[in-house]
Structure 1
Amino acid sequence: MNQSHETYEGLVAGDGNPRWGQSYYYNAYDPETRVGLLIRLGFLESQPEANSWLIVFKDGLPLFARTNLNLPYTPQRPAGGVDIAGMRIHAEIPLKRTRISFSSPDCAFDLAWDELHPLADCIAMTADKDGSFAREVAHIHLEGTSTITGHLVHRGQRIEINGKGFRDIAAGIRNWDALHHYRLAWPVFDNGMAFAGIRGISTAGQSAYMRMMHDGSAWRRVVSIEDELELCDDGLAVKEARWAFVDELGRRFEMTAKPLFSWLFPVDTFVVREHLMEFRLGDGTVGYGLHETGYRLPWTGIAS
């Protein structure tokens, strides 16, 4: 664990840029119960405002959805505990264990995200510190995987959760208008492997990447990515995704992904489509995780 990274679980003061922000993302999926969660927190110090989303789903259908895009700003952060829109998020052991609880008349849960693969800075792993992601999306983007355990109660029905998922911590400038489109894949596989890949296409048509993979023993640099999407008729939801990548040891991996759940979030000049997908490696190994796509408005499509 990098001791300096622990500071990002707490308040990191901005540099005066109006787009400076901190964000925290947590997702989970339990293939046994077919229950999943998508959770995000955003803090815009210079605006000043905060935002959050919480989506709970089962069997491919939403159970509970709460989205708040213009909340009052708070200096609270997970290190000391954040109370926002009915949720309590506390990094009980910074970078290692986060407990998230929520209570409403229709849905409540108490879940813990415990480290599976440690958080690593995907921007640093990509070795593209001068690229567009470092300039326009964040100056640090910590990503890692977790086991997620606890329980959820939906309208009186209690469900025990034992799943896996990704989480991230980001800080820096977040300029949505610099991006025309991006796509992200975060699978966690049954064989202990995980992949974190993001391709962003700028408004000028240039591509940039954040990329790394965990081979079950350590995070490795990914030196190249090939990616292809097949979109649904609405042009936003993904029908199928295909990714291939080569790691720093020269190993090539291929995977396909098909959605189990999909949700659309507005972000002013952008829309984000969240998918929880079943991934499958070339050898048949199954995994589950987030596949996210973003589209700048008005969306006019993309050639590749």
Structure 2
Amino acid sequence: MDLNLESLKKHEEWNESYYFNFHDKNNDLTAFMRIGNKVNKNEKSMFFYLMSPKIMAGIKVETPCDDKPLNIAGLNYEEIEPGKWKLKYNGSIFNPLDKSESKVKMDVIWEALNPIMNYVDCVDEKQAEMSSNVASEHYEQFGKALGKIEVDEEMFEIEGLGERDLSHGVREWGSPKMWMWINSEFSDNEAFNITKLSVDEGDIDAGYFYINSVNKPLIKSDIDVDFNNGIPSKFQMSLFDKGGSKYSVDGEVIRFGMIPVDEKMILIETLSKYNWEGKEGYGIAEFLVPKPYF
């Protein structure tokens, strides 16, 4: 796939993005975080959020770039070995409703459970070109998270499942009309991720369903979303892989938070519960929508 990569790397909005999430079912605690570097704009950004029945709080920061691309505002990533990362955070998070502050310390090892999935295996050349203003290189992987999170001196022993996302490419938040990025882990051996990206030229679908120790590339997704006051509440999905198999998955939003990304777009990040063939899973369902949408 030739997307004139060298030319894209010179684009002002060229971005390298590292995203992780995980959900600890026993503690009903979800964490999601991202570090992005736009070196041609001298802009490094992060967000770090926690969701539970007691807390929905986070932080979003932008700084100039430096020689530590995976360390910003107390959030630090370290790749210990391929597929194994140390995730640390030491700082404050804030409730967007009452502006209350919580002190957080996180020390977690995130370890992959499936091979890396390259979205290039899911799209044709035209679809790749259509998505070139969002991320020309996009990789997904699910894994387990083990460690500790301390919130205002309350300690949580973390044992959860989650997803990591690595993308390189132009990231113009306002270029898509919207996107849906959804993941769920049903066990150490079964998980899926799907992205539906809507641009002026049409939709691009990509992702994987991991079963029988294999990533099955997803090439089509039909997603019907129910909304409650502008917020996704339920969704029904029919996902189709390259081999012609169909996966029917229902999702239900448990809780959500919102992250403004620029003057035009906002991210709705949800913890959602999923049902696939009677199996229960949890994961993040992320919706990028225009601000006037509300």
TM-score by length of 2: 0.88
**Alpha carbons 2:195, 2:207 under 8 Å: kept:** yes
Q: Is the 8 A contact 1:190 1:285 kept in 2?
A: no
Whole-Å Cα distance in 1 between the matches of residues 86 and 187 of structure 2? 24
The residue that corresponds to 2:168 in the other structure is 171
Provide, for residues 44-94 of structure 1, a one-character-per-residue CA deviation record: whole Å limited to 9, x for no partner: 1111111100001222632x41111x21112434xxxx3211122111113
From 255, 277, 284, the equivalent of 2:278 is: 284
Contiguous gaps of at least 5 residues in structure 2: 1-5, 93-102
Shift of 1:14: 6.7
Match of 1:267 in 2: 261
- Return the offset for 1:278: 0.8
2:168 and 2:208 map into 1 onto residues whose CA distance is: 19
Q: Distance in 1 between matches of 2:71 and 2:219?
A: 40
Residue 14 and residue 72 in structure 1: after superposition, are their counterparts in 2 closer, same or farther (change >3 A)? farther
Q: In the alignment, what sits opposite 2:3? A: none
Distance (whole Å) between structure 2 residues aligned to residue 255 and residue 147 of structure 1:
22
Structure 1 runs, 4 residues or longer, greater than 3 Å off = none
Please point out which of 62, 66, 74 is paired with 1:86: 74
**Which region of structure 1 is more displaced relative to structure 2, 246-255 or 154-163?**
246-255
Contact 2:206-2:219 at 8 Å conserved across structures = no
Aligned counterpart in structure 2 of residue 229 of structure 1, from 225, 232, 255: 225
Q: Secondary structure at the match of 2:115?
A: strand
Find out whether 1:97 has 2:119 as its counterpart.
no
Whether the 8 Å contact between 1:148 and 1:162 is mirrored in structure 2 is yes
8 Å Cα contact 2:106-2:148 kept in structure 1: yes
Kept after mapping to 1: 8 A contact 2:113/2:188: no
Q: Secondary structure at the match of 1:32?
A: coil
Give, as a single letter, the amino acid of the residue that structure 2 aligns with 1:67: K
CA–CA separation in structure 2 for the residues paired with 1:90 and 1:36: 20
Q: Percent identity?
A: 18
Q: Report what 2:21 is aligned to.
A: 27
Number of residues of Structure 1 aligned to a counterpart in Structure 2: 277
Counterpart secondary structure, 1:46? helix
Is 1:217 matched up with 2:213? yes
Which position in structure 1 is the counterpart of 2:196?
199
1:49–1:74 contact (8 Å) kept in structure 2: no
Q: Deviations over 1:252-274 (max 9, x none)?
A: 21111112221101111211100
| Alignment match, 2:250 | 256
Query: What is the aligned partner in structure 1 of residue 100 from structure 2?
Result: none
Encode CA deviations 1:121-180: one digit per residue, 9 max, x unaligned.
12x121323325541211211100010000111111111000000001100111222211
| CA spacing shift, 1:52–1:208, aligned 2, 3 Å | same
Q: Which consecutive unaligned segments of at least 5 residues does structure 1 have?
A: 1-11
Shift of 1:243: 0.7
In 1, Cα distance between the equivalents of 2:197 and 2:219? 16
Structure 2 Cα separation of the partners of residues 14 and 102 of structure 1? 32
Q: Is the 8 A contact 1:60 1:260 kept in 2?
A: no
Q: Which residue of 1 aligns with 2:241?
A: 247
Supply the distance in 2 between the matched residues of 1:256 and 1:58 (Cα, whole angstroms).
21
One-letter identity of the residue aligned with 2:84:
R
Tell me how large the CA RMSD over aligned residues is. 2.0
8 Å CA contact retained: 1:184, 1:291: yes
Alignment-derived partner of residue 7 in structure 1: none
The residue identity in structure 1 corresponding to 2:181 is L
Counterpart contact for 1:181–1:296, Cα < 8 Å: yes
Kindly state the Cα deviation for residue 13 of structure 1 after the two structures are TM-superposed: 11
